[in-house]
Amino acid sequence: MNRAIAMADEGRGTSLVEVREVVKTYSTSEGPLPVLSGVSFDLNAGVSLALTGESGSGKSTLLHLLAGLDRTDSGSIRIEGTELERLGDAELSALRRQRIGLVFQQFNLIPSLDVRSNIAFHARLAGRLDPSWRDELVERLGLSGLLNRYPEQLSGGQQQRVAIARTLAMRPILVLADEPTGNLDEASAASVLALMLDLVRASGAGLIMATHSLRIAGQLDRRLHLSAGRILAC
């Protein structure tokens, strides 16, 4: 997708995500470790954004902050205009339950539940399971034959496809993905990624994906490069 279209997308509506001067420092045994040192950007609904950078550049931390799994030291993050810093734990949890879908590199699934229940789980938590949409996802992700299996009985690619189905089944407004194909071989990574981008686009949700692969980043609408906790270039 070219820059022109990206600019056009940005103008399409109000910002889904607004990140302003976010700073995050972890305290370690060797002293404070600055991870994010003033990061700002916006994202509109329906747009996909790649976060690239080396290991330790703060990609994952930024995603966690966006998901409300962790808190900023300073700066602000707004999602649909709501400032996360103002929300309590209960409201952050509700935000995740209702609005945000997460796909991680690993351990996305609940080991005690079978694939069918895993796919429905987040949507049911959000209280809006749409069976036809779920069935469509199952169909498109090629999971029909796996519904009765348990996570430990699936390959890495299958697990990630289930995670995507689960995330999209609850119709999030924002999907956050952290190296979703990092554990997969090239072929399955490509197919999982293609499916994911396709489906996110079809659902109209915003997508932020952390990845170290420039090739993957190239398939997304926008790209931000993080280095030493700052955005270097777009």
User: Residues in the site for other proteins, rule: CB under 8 A?
Assistant: 26, 60, 64, 67, 69-70, 89-90, 93-98, 102, 104-113, 117, 120-122, 124-126, 152, 178-179
- Tokens found for residue 16: 């889904």
Nearer to other proteins, 124 or 215 (CB): 124
Residue 134 CB neighbours (<10 A): 19
Give min distance, CB of 115 to other proteins, in A.
13
Helix (H), strand (E) at residue 174: strand 174-178
Nearer to other proteins, 68 or 75 (CB): 68
Give min distance, CB of 179 to other proteins, in A.
8
Nearer to other proteins, 12 or 97 (CB): 97
What would the DSSP string read from start to end of 206-222? EEEEE-S-HHHHHTSSE
Nearer to other proteins, 89 or 186 (CB): 89
Give min distance, CB of 162 to other proteins, in A.
11
Strand bridging mode 48-53 / 206-210 = parallel
**Cα–Cα distance, 109 to 88 (Å, whole number):** 26
**Cβ contact 144:71 at 8 Å:** no
Count Cβ neighbours within 10 Å for each residue of 26-36 and write b for 16 or more, e otherwise. Answer: eeeeeeeeebb
**Cα–Cα distance, 169 to 140 (Å, whole number):** 12
Strand order in the sheet with 230-233: 100-103, 174-178, 206-210, 48-53, 222-227, 230-233
Nearer to other proteins, 24 or 44 (CB): 24
Give min distance, CB of 35 to other proteins, in A.
11
Nearer to other proteins, 48 or 105 (CB): 105
Give min distance, CB of 6 to other proteins, in A.
28
Give min distance, CB of 39 to other proteins, in A.
18
